[in-house]
Amino acid sequence: MKITANRADLGAALTWAAQIVPRRALDPRQAMLRLAADDDRLTIQATDGETWVSTSLACDTLDLAEPVMLPGVRLAQLVEAMGAAVVTLEQRDPGEPVTLTAGRSRYTLHAGAVDWPKWVEPGTHVATVHARELVGAWARVSPMTGDEVTVMDTYCMRLDASGTGDDGRFALRASDSRRAADLALDADVHREQVIMVNPRRVGSLLKGMAGALEVHADLGGTVTFADATHSVTLRQSGRPDLLARVDGLLVPDRDGSAVVTADTAEIIAALRRVMIVAGATNTDGTDAKGTQHVTLTAGDDLLIEATDREGNGSEAVDGKVSGEAAHTVNARYLLDGLTNLGSATVELIIPTRYRPIHLVGTDGDGYRYVTMPIKK
């Protein structure tokens, strides 16, 4: 076996695939990367039993009759660290160690067993979206799955392919117990389907993809994201009806709310300043469990207030105000929604009763965000 390739290209491919290699693998094969020849390209595969990834690249020399398995993380680290422009992997006979050389660097790695865990094939083609748009939407919606696993539907993201052909839409929705976000992308939809995924398992892998990205899925089984050279397959998480309760919450009650229209950047700047005095302690000195609370009051303008045992402060933000209302909210949740909004101007819809507070961009891409006020 002999493989000669551009070191930077090979290192990037190995590092991307090695992301899912577990630190402590129960199955020794899960600590390996599988290198195989597919026509004139080198294919690199990895799996942890829940996620399956594959990528390929062109090589200057590709003489690989049988697949070889090598320690994934160590192989990626060595190739990335080598200084020469070209790296060579050589193995005299199957089962023998593999030698890595690049310039004056030379290392040897022991090859693993040739058997490989069962590979999961992609399901039916559901939709095609642009990778860059999906990565951007993923980063803006997935944080709403929460910091901790509480119940199943708060650690899932719902992907909803609807419509047909080029007029289709591919929507992403996530929610925890206190907030929710929703964003729909233009897509070429081949089949309408709802897909449930754990966003933490695939988010970083999607960042390495580019161009047209195909989404394949089985009903309740697996979902695959694939571009021209990368493929990520993972098991679906949760039931399709999870997060359905969020549908009604994402529609604001404008008649029973105060509506503040203001510059998004001005609200963000004012909120950041107020958060300085919104400490993680209550006024009586007790622990507030790390949360920072601010009070939003819609009146003549938008007033943002906070207090803790060391002081208090307020900021008034100019804007167009309709109605009067006031609620206390988690400051970090509000900041997350504002920074992900993607709109220069925001409509802040503050209900008069205990209902979600809505952020609606007036010139954005349809991103919707809600957060529940804090009961007092």
Structure tokens at 24: 């402590």
Mean predicted confidence (pLDDT) in 119-146: 92
Q: Within its chain, how far is the Cα of 191 from the centroid?
A: 23
- Residues of the chain with pLDDT > 90, as a percent, come to 66
Specify whether the CB–CB gap between 37 and 75 falls below 8 A.
Answer: no
Q: What is the DSSP letter of 95?
A: T
Predicted structure pTM score:
0.88
Cα separation, 134 vs 225, whole angstroms: 11
60/24: higher pLDDT: 60
The phi, psi pair for 7, rounded to 5°, reads: -60, -40
As a residue count, the chain comes to 376
**pLDDT confidence tier of residue 152, bands split at 50, 70 and 90:** very low
Residue 153 has pLDDT above 60, yes or no: no
Query: Maximum CA pair distance of the chain?
Result: 80
Domains in the chain and their CATH numbers? 2-109 (3.10.150.10), 124-246 (3.10.150.10), 251-371 (3.10.150.10)
Coil/strand/helix, residue 78? helix
Would you list the DSSP string of 269-322? Answer: HHHHHHHTS--SB-TTS-B-TT--EEEEEESSSEEEEEEETTEEEEEEE--EEE
CA atoms within 13 A on the CB side of 278: 23
Q: How far is CA 30 from the centre of its chain?
A: 23
Q: DSSP 3-state assignment of 191?
A: coil
Per DSSP, the three-state class of 205 is helix
In this prediction, what percent of the chain has a pLDDT beyond 70? 91
Angstrom distance (rounded) from CA 119 to CA 45? 10
Which of 308, 311, 309, 301 shows the shortest CA–CA distance to 270? 301
* pLDDT band, very low/low/confident/very high, at 91 (cuts 50, 70, 90): very high
Strands 179-189 and 165-175 turn out to be antiparallel
pLDDT of 188-214, one tens digit each? 999 999 998 888 888 899 999 999 999
pLDDT at 100 over 80: yes
In the prediction, which pLDDT does 244 show? Answer: 61
Q: How far apart are CA 48 and CA 29, in angstroms?
A: 9
